[in-house]
Structure formats: structure tokens, C-alpha cells
Amino acid sequence: MTVEIRLATVSDAEELSILNQEFNGGARRPILKISESLVKSNELVAVAVRDDRLVGFACAQIFSSFCYEEPQGEITEMYVKELARRKGIATSLLAFLEENFRACGVKEVKILTGAKNIGAQTTYTKSNYTKQNETVLFKKLD
């Protein structure tokens, strides 16, 4: 089965809402909010399409800072439906985002994933990402 990797469009908003709920839990994100984000945001949202249905997505950010010579890239989200896993889709999503990063002058990419998410870590290391010794701290603001 062929899988197409492309940038998300507004017409993907409903399926992205469903996939995001599968991935992050909680209430579904409103389709209008997703559509607005796809139009207004600088976020790169790549989707994997098989048989005219979304089977996965990945989100990325490109940012500039006076601290760095080149723009920086970060892959912030990655999800592939359970039935579509272990078919190279996550690797294809990574490669697609990396192409977009290169086109924007990004030379280094960061990915954060859960310490216990061995499947994701394996995918990333197979794509030549290396583990770094960093600590992530989190605070919820009221």
C-alpha cells in the first residue's frame, strides 16, 4: 500500500482532530481551531495519507534566535495510528520534515520524546538522531 507524505491542508482538519485525540487524549480539538492554526501558524504539519485517509501526522517548528547563527528546528509531535505502525511511515514523516528544514536553512533538529517511549526512540535513532543528556522541566501556569 502506498503512503503519501505531504503538508496538511485545511481539508485535513477533521481527521487531524481525531488523530490528535487518539494521540493526546482528552477532548477533541475543534476543527475550526485546527483550520485556523493550519492557515495562520508557521508550524509545519506533515500528514501521512493511505487510501485517502490520514494514518499519521508530525508537527515541527522553525525558530530563529540571536543566540544561534542558523534557524533551529524542533519536531514537536509525531503520531502514527497503531494499525499503520512498523511500515516506515514515521521514518517517512521525519524525512519529509527534514527536507523542509533544510530548505529553510535549518542545520540541527531537536526531538523530545518520553523516556519510556522506546518505540519512538528506536525510530529516531534509526534515522540518525542521537540521545543528548538534557533534563526537561515542566511547569503549568495558571
Ordered domains of the chain (ranges, CATH): 4-126 (3.40.630.30)
pLDDT tens-digit readout, 66-97: 998 999 999 999 999 999 999 999 999 999 99
* pLDDT on residue 1: 67
What is the spatial distance between Cα 109 and Cα 92, in angstroms, rounded to a whole number? Answer: 16
Tell me if residue 74 falls in helix, strand or coil.
strand
For 31-55, write each residue's pLDDT tens digit.
Answer: 999 999 999 988 999 999 999 999 9
CA triplet 23, 26, 30: central angle to 5 degrees?
90
